[in-house]
């Protein structure tokens, strides 16, 4: 067998496809491997570049294969698709991954450590529980509205919903189901509170997250999410690249030397983008009630732009500041900044 320089590995649940190429890019190996034989195969292989699509389990396999001296790289799936020739199958996917990894301008995803993945799971679990809590609140509000009991929207009025059910103001036939929803809601609130405490503890213990919380609009949840979900700061050359990765920069459709900028791309990490916009909206709401210093960036933006546009623009600004703190250290300092 000729010396293998690059391997494209198509990940799966049980059967993995391996495509190996030499230094010139010519294929020298095509093989299927069962899951239990994958690590032993790479343990016997001389060190080479192993490329995979960034998908579920990819970070684990990247760490495990790198332990045998190989260089592992993860490629976004959408960048691999262009290299698939005609029919799509596991062998074609592995070949496409191998070819994509050989491109000098290819962009890669930084493998995450086990600690980063654990922090991400805490955040993801909280996000899931919050969505379930919102679903139950909306269900309670809708069910009670069918009986003419209407409560205003918003978290501040949830206690009224629960009180009406506990006081048995709904029809007796509907009470068992409604009480079941209330008990589930209370259990979810306890679990969310427990995860909030854990996230706050992680944010204090993590130096990066603690420094990110100095930015107005960024609290423990957002700082922990950035530390867990964002790639290393040196992945990006400047803050705008990080904001573009989050999908907080305008979409370009430029040609002939004429720049045309559209709406925000909404490409990249959706969870972080959503959290930053939520944090920015809190800062904007505070600024509307307590006007910032005249001549400041936020005051000038609010004076001439719609509120939602200012919110998204501020989220992009927060992303660039966050990258600067992660890349260069220090904390955020600004005179006359509105605290949120």
pLDDT tens per residue, range 159-189: 888 888 888 787 888 889 999 999 999 999 9
pTM for this predicted structure: 0.80
pLDDT confidence band for 335 (50 / 70 / 90): low
pLDDT of amino acid 249: 86
Which spans in 45-174 are helix H? 58-66, 77-80, 90-101, 114-145, 158-166
Q: What is the Cα–Cα distance from 146 to 57, expressed in whole angstroms?
A: 45
Measured CA to CA in angstroms, residue 70 lies from 4, 64, 268 at distances of 12, 10, 28
Higher pLDDT, 199 or 252: 199
pLDDT of amino acid 186: 94
Judge contact between 140 and 165, C-beta under 8 A: yes
pLDDT of amino acid 153: 83
Domain ranges of the chain: 6-101, 115-205, 208-328
Domain 6-101: give its CATH superfamily.
YqgF/RNase H-like domain (3.30.420.140)
pLDDT tens readout for residues 74-110? 999 999 999 998 888 999 999 999 999 999 999 998 8
Average pLDDT, the chain: 90
Residue 340 has pLDDT above 80, yes or no: no
pLDDT tens readout for residues 3-46? 899 999 999 999 999 999 998 889 999 999 999 999 999 999 99
Residue 337 has pLDDT above 70, yes or no: no
What is the pLDDT averaged over residues 252-261? 79
Judge contact between 40 and 12, C-beta under 8 A: no
Q: Quick one: what percent of the chain has pLDDT higher than 90? A: 59
Q: What is the Cα–Cα distance from 92 to 177, expressed in whole angstroms?
A: 52
């Amino acid at each position: 067998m000729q010396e293998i320089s690059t391997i494209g590995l198509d990940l799966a649940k049980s059967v993995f496809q391996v495509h190996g190429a030499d230094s010139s890019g010519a294929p020298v190996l095509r093989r299927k491997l069962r899951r239990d034989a994958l690590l032993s195969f790479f343990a016997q292989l001389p060190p080479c570049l192993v490329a995979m699509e960034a998908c579920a389990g990819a970070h684990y396999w990247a760490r495990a294969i790198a332990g045998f001296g190989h260089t592992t790289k993860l490629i976004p799936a959408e960048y691999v698709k262009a290299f698939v020739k005609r029919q799509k199958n596991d062998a074609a996917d592995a070949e496409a991954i191998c070819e994509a990894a050989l491109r000098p301008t290819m962009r890669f995803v930084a493998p995450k450590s086990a600690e980063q993945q654990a922090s991400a799971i805490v955040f993801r679990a909280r996000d899931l529980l919050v969505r379930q809590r919102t679903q139950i609140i909306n269900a309670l509000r809708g069910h009670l509205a069918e009986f003419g009991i209407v409560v205003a929207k918003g978290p501040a009025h949830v206690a009224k919903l629960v009180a009406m059910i506990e006081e048995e103001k709904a029809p007796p036939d509907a009470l068992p189901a409604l009480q079941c929803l209330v008990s589930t809601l209370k259990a979810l609130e306890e679990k969310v509170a427990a995860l909030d405490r854990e996230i706050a503890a992680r944010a204090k213990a993590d130096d990066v997250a603690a420094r990110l919380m100095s930015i107005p609009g960024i609290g423990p949840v957002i700082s922990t999410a950035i530390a867990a979900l964002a790639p290393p700061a040196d992945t990006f050359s400047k803050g705008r690249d990080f904001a573009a990765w989050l999908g907080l920069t305008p979409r370009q459709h430029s040609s002939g030397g004429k720049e045309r900028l559209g709406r925000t791309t909404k490409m990249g990490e959706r969870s972080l983008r959503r959290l930053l916009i939520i944090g920015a909206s809190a800062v904007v709401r505070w600024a509307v009630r307590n006007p910032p210093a005249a001549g400041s960036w936020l005051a000038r933006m609010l004076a001439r732009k719609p509120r939602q546009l200012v919110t998204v623009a501020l989220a992009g600004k927060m992303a660039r500041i966050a990258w600067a703190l992660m890349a260069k250290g220090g904390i955020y300092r600004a005179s006359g900044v509105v605290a949120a």
